[in-house]
Structure 1
Amino acid sequence: MFITMRTRKSLGDVRQRFEEAAAENRFAVLGVHDVGERLRAKGLSFDRKFYVYEVCNPVSAKKVLDTNVRIGTALPCRVSIYTDGGEVVLETLKPTAMLAMFGEPSLDGTAREIESAIEAMMSTAVR
């Protein structure tokens, strides 16, 4: 259900490498949410760094939306990058699992391609 990778590299390095890997895999970073900062700004105690990246491959997104516009509720793909003790964790829901909920078998190949690309991006970031 999840793809999870861990590293002892610095958070800044992992984030930079992830953004570079996204571009190399023809994914746009549509947004980066600093969840930890937002929680702290609201007066809540949250002592780890936690970012949510929204990434999208426009060609794949168009194919998915042309097949079933309701899948837009699951777009864009999200990858969390956060600290856990001395490690940095990258984590995402598997696109194959998410798209399976919509019952569109014609998109199975597209889901596998997206999943492979995101996994490659994450792998590059942790190396």
Structure 2
Amino acid sequence: MKANVKLISKHRKYSEELKKSIVNDFESGKFSVPQLERLHNISNQSIYNWIYKYSRSNERGQRILEMKDSSTEKLKALEQRIKELEQTVGKKQIQIDYLEKMIDIAKTDLDIDIKKNSNTPQSSGSATTRRK
């Protein structure tokens, strides 16, 4: 006699809230699709389907391309580069201010005009010499 056995479905069902939460994580740039796949143990095809279904920016028929590095990592690297460049510009500005102050001191205290006078005529170069 066979027992009354119910087959368990192999398909998992996910709540709408979970699907939308995963799509929001993807759209905000927190996670890439492969990261979400590993994090939630959900196939990437399911995640892409949810993105097409629930996303405000992606539509079916448009391909979603992702780089290996997540966009947040790239953004952090670019922000760090901007910070370094701003520091370099700041240092250069301090040097310029220092040199301008030294020029002013040389002019007032030592009576030396380091800046080129705009009225000074251009030099004609060295005179040509004749060969013997």
Q: TM-score range by the shorter chain?
A: under 0.3
Which of 1 and 2 has higher RCO (CA within 8 Å, sep 6+)? 1
Structure with greater proportional strand content: 1
* TM-score when normalising by structure 2: 0.18
Calculate the TM-score normalised by the size of structure 1. 0.18
Point out the structure with max Rg over C-alpha.
2
